[in-house]
Structure 1
């Protein structure tokens, strides 16, 4: 197989991943708080030195021993866009929208008997009943929303609930108003490092492997929210459809390259015979 055909095959595989990413963005264009994912490509025109040290590896090689040549293009990284989406007023007190880009709510998620803190822009919250006539603020999936003292829990039987612009949660019982919790909000200083976990949530990667500490990726900030409002997806449909068409045409071009290369090899073989 010629180098051009190898380049086309490698690139097609990566373009398929990009089209899958675009499809995921389009499917979540109406998902509350969803943040678009963007793909960055990088060239595989590289040389890796000292990757093979066995002298036997030099036999039949087209390049000197210890040199590996790559060709084509690869999906270098998938980045999350934490810019603001359109705000939609709902009038529901437990619908809370973050007003600043890169800000995230903190939630506690338990999977496979492991509990970890995750982050989301989806502020559609609910109250889940607990024992002793208590309720807890949760996400739509039932995961506890974290406040300054952990999960926000308080006694049921209130007349009204409000979330202030600074994230303070208050309830009214008759003529008395009581502060029952404070939403904690963090800022993603390096949003590209966040890992998507599904359900519109993110987690921190293994920071030790990347050489970062938590403060270099996530920092606590004063809450700036708006109650009775939800942030919609920030997916730009026009951009996504344009990228999809471009990717499809590029995929077809590379597929045609392989087809034409195969035909040319067939002609060469016929001439030899």
Structure 2
């Protein structure tokens, strides 16, 4: 069972939150603070993250998406949660897509934040695998703080100020790099199947939240919306990590989608 945190009214509709790579269940604390009076909020540490740091307990096969989905489902089952709104950011969103594929009857709605539904060409997958292998090598060999400084210099995080980058490096430096490297390679986008058609397979609403400064994922979401029953929601004054940059608008959007 994965580490988790529950807040709110246990008799209210459940909302499950899945964080991104390098994150933890605590990343959702500001969002949960806004929603816990009206919902039962459950934030879960993904394998290798947060309090799930023992690799022997949470080592993932490659690909590891189905195993992650199974672990999340088992954790929720232990809490007697049978139906829930599912919110996933980045890696958490990609795992949420696998949960939607494996356990569609459990979803009340699906909310994806800055999440990729899968690479479509073999060439893109080969290039991504090479890129992710290089990052995994850095993660396994460099001091964690040095790795994090490099990680947050990527273009997708260019909306972060130097102060915000420094704060994230400090916040993430407690992580176990070897356990993270296992999770990173097992859940590489290169290992993920094509999940573009998941929204049309669900009986519940699918939503995509993107920051207006994140041009890459805004474009991806617009293309996805043209093909599938997916509602796109753009949040101002935010980049890739919308719930971190704009917690109040993000919370307001979730409340509107869930009621």
Comparing both structures, which one devotes a greater share of its residues to strand?
1
Comparing both structures, which one devotes a greater share of its residues to helix?
2
Q: Smaller-chain TM-score range?
A: under 0.3
TM-score under structure 2 length normalisation: 0.20
